[in-house]
């Protein structure tokens, strides 16, 4: 009897030390609670994702500018005035001295004047190709046409004396105020430097020099004898 009771106790202890069987895919599995451990899943693998690279900006190739035709003008045998506009009525802004050259930029469509770079400066001006002192190298027809739209300001010289006068260069007559006061004692002239001579006196002596600019009126008030006269 005592052996049977001991056997029953042993069996009870054996049953309590084990957990109920689990079934995996239909096969009974027995897991011992004393030795059961939790297995953590491995951390996800770290992958290096390449950073997006910027799209390179498109390269814009600039077209080469059309080369300026080679045209030059040279003063030969004399000097050439460089003027503000294409005409002798504009102010002088420079001189091409004998043997000096300038690059030609454009030509005026209404006259035989060309636009040039003033030597030694960044300014531009105009010279005539009609003068016998101008020698052109290159083809003027290859240059762009240019229309100068700024009109010149007229300049005048008035004789206020009782003697007839003349301006040089040009042989411009200025009759005396008393006999030709209506018109002939006044002349429109091109801007420039002039010498005034008294025609009333023998040898037409020089009275004075005048520098005439655009928009200016110059009054001659002293004759070759030194007599002063007011202009009306």
Distance CA 127, CA 75 (A): 10
Phi first, then psi, for residue 192 (nearest 5°) are 160, -175
* pLDDT score of 231: 86
Angle at the Cα of 76 from the Cα atoms of 144 and 138, rounded to 5 degrees: 30
Q: Is the pTM of this model over 0.75?
A: no
> What is the pLDDT, as a whole number, of residue 183?
78
d(C-alpha 232, C-alpha 225), whole Å = 20
Strand 206-212's sheet: what is its strand order? Answer: 172-174, 165-168, 192-198, 206-212
The pLDDT, as a whole number, for residue 110 is 82
Angle, vertex CA 93, rays to CA 91 and CA 96, nearest 5? 120
Q: Give the CA distances from residue 218 to residues 79, 165, 213, in Å, rounded to whole numbers and listed in that order.
A: 26, 14, 9
The predicted pLDDT at position 161 comes to 95
pLDDT string in tens for the chain (232-residue length): 555 555 545 454 544 544 444 444 444 444 443 344 444 555 555 555 555 555 555 555 454 445 566 899 999 999 999 999 999 999 999 999 999 999 999 998 888 899 999 998 899 999 999 999 999 999 988 988 888 889 999 999 999 999 999 999 999 999 999 886 567 899 999 999 999 999 999 999 999 999 999 999 999 999 999 999 988 7
**pLDDT score for 199:** 97
pLDDT value at residue 148: 87
Domains annotated for the chain, with CATH where assigned, are 72-146 (2.30.30.40), 155-220 (2.60.40)
pLDDT of residue 23: 45
């Amino acid at each position: 009897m005592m052996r049977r009771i001991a056997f029953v106790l042993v069996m009870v202890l054996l049953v309590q030390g084990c957990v109920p069987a689990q079934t995996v895919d239909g096969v009974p599995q027995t897991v011992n609670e004393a030795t059961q451990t939790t297995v953590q899943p491995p951390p996800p693998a770290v992958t290096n994702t390449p950073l997006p690279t910027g799209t390179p900006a498109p390269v814009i190739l600039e077209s080469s500018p059309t080369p300026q035709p080679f045209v030059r003008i040279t003063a030969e045998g004399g000097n050439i005035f460089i003027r503000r506009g294409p005409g002798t009525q504009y102010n002088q802004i420079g001189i091409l001295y004998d043997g000096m050259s300038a690059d030609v930029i454009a030509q005026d469509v209404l006259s035989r004047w060309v636009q040039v770079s003033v030597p030694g400066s960044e300014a531009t001006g105009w010279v005539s190709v009609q003068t016998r002192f101008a020698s052109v190298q290159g083809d003027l027809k290859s240059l762009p046409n240019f229309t100068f739209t700024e009109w010149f300001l007229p300049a005048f010289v008035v004789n206020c004396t009782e003697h007839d006068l003349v301006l040089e260069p040009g042989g411009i007559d200025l009759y005396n105020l008393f006999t030709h006061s209506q018109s002939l004692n006044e002349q429109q002239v091109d801007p420039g430097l002039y010498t005034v001579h008294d025609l009333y006196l023998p040898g037409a002596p020089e009275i004075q020099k005048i520098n005439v600019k655009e928009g200016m009126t110059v009054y001659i008030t002293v004759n070759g004898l030194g007599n002063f006269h007011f202009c009306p």
